[in-house]
Structures are given as C-alpha cells and as structure tokens.
A and B are shown apart, each in its own frame.
Chain A
Amino acid sequence: QVQLQESGPRLVKPSETLSLTCTVSGGSIHGYYWGWIRQPPGKTLEYIGHIFYTGNVNYNPSLVSRVSMSVDTSKNQFSLRLYSATAADTAVYYCARHQNGGTYPIDHWGQGILVSVS
C-alpha cells in the first residue's frame, strides 16, 4: 500500500521560504504525477501544483511566481518550496499521488502537516 509522509519545518518566518518534502513508501515514484494541496484553517482545499516523476511541473497560476517543485527518484521523494511566505500561507499542506488515467484523480494523500507562518 502506497504511503506518503510530509516533513519539514512547522514554523516559518514571514518573507522566508517554506520547504517541505514528501517521502513515498510502499511503491515507486516512477510513472506518476505527484501533487501538493493545502488547506488553510477552516477553509477549503487549494491545489498548489504537481510534478511528474521526470521533473515536468505544472503550478497553480496564482502561486507560479513563488512556487518551485522538484523530485528525487533515488530517494523516492518530491519537494515543495514556497518563497516569500506570508501569514496567508499558513495551512495544512498535503502531498498526494495522482492515479493514472481518466481525470488523474488524487488517490493517495499524506496525513498533512500544519505549517504556520509567523
């Protein structure tokens, strides 16, 4: 069973960079799209973007100027960087896997990590 686990600092200062890593276990990172989604406290979900295992990326236009994703297939990990963080970036961040085919739905989610910008 594929499992995803987010890791990284839970507290980030304003104007600094929010950095998270997702470790994939129980399956290979090869052949799939991997995404990041966030959820501010009490609010709905926001899609940040995704990265293919080859490194091709697609970012939410609302965040494209501040976001970067990368993948390390040797470690079965992918990462998120969000630059110039503000209080509005405080949220639970989920890493996720997109199922292949059709609408490429999100079929596996990490447990989420709450990151506060303060």
Chain B
Amino acid sequence: DIVMTQSPLSLPVTPGEPASISCRSSQSLLQTNGYNHLDWYLQKPGQSPQLLIYSGSIRASGVPDRFSGSGSRTDFTLKISRVEAEDAGIYYCMQALQTRTFGQGTKVEI
C-alpha cells in the first residue's frame, strides 16, 4: 500500500490569514503522462467529503480560487490564501496511483 502522511493533524486558523497543509506519500505519485495522482478533499462537519483539487493542482469545478494545490512526486501542499469561516473541517489527501489510500486528515479549526 502507498502510505499517505499529512501534517499537521490539527490546524487552528484565523479568518483572513493563509493556511497550509502538507501531504507526503511513501512513493512517487508522478506518472509518465505528467499527472501527479494526488487529490484533496474537504469533509465539513456532518457532511460527505467534497473534491477540492485533483491531479495535484487542478481545482475542481466550483472550488474558490483561494484554494491551490502544488507539489510533485512525494511532497504535496494544499494552500488556502485567505481562510474563511466556511473552510472549517477535515482535509484529506488521497493517492490515486494504486488502490486509493487517504491521509489521516487535518482538522482545520477557525
């Protein structure tokens, strides 16, 4: 299995300030086609997860541009340029190179 490790596991944030979450994989997620097989999801309290970023850096439809994904191979970052109250929840990275596996989750508290 590819192991996904997120940090931090808990992230207190202030509205209007930036925030950043790190995700590391136990092996490279970069394929020969140039895609990094890494997605980011947000699970708001009491809700199902929702897709934020796929292929490492592509924002999903309807996702605000304050969210951005970067990184390659084994090291990835999700950044929120200016946190809003509605961004609270648990953020998960997920690798899609082999049988999908998720990180432990990062709880973002406003």
A positions within 8 Å CB-CB of B: 44-47, 58, 60-62, 94, 99, 102-107, 109-112
Number of B interface residues in the complex (CB < 8 A): 25
Residues of chain A with a CB closer than 8 A to B71's CB: none
Main secondary structure of the interface of A (DSSP, over half): loop
Does B67 touch A at the CB level, under 8 Å? no
Instruction: With CB as the reference atom, state the residue of chain A lying closest to B61.
Output: A107
Residues of chain A with a CB closer than 8 A to B49's CB: 45, 94, 106, 109
Contact yes or no, B102 A47, CB < 8 A: yes
Name the distance in Å between B25's Cβ and chain A's nearest Cβ.
13
Residues of chain B with a CB closer than 8 A to A99's CB: 51, 54
Contact yes or no, A111 B102, CB < 8 A: no
Does B48 touch A at the CB level, under 8 Å? yes
The CA of A104 and the CA of B58, in the complex, are separated in Å by 12
Q: Which of A45, A60, A107, A111 makes the CB contact (< 8 A) with B60?
A: A107
The CA of A104 and the CA of B38, in the complex, are separated in Å by 10
Instruction: With CB as the reference atom, state the residue of chain B lying closest to A112.
Output: B48
Contact yes or no, B60 A44, CB < 8 A: no
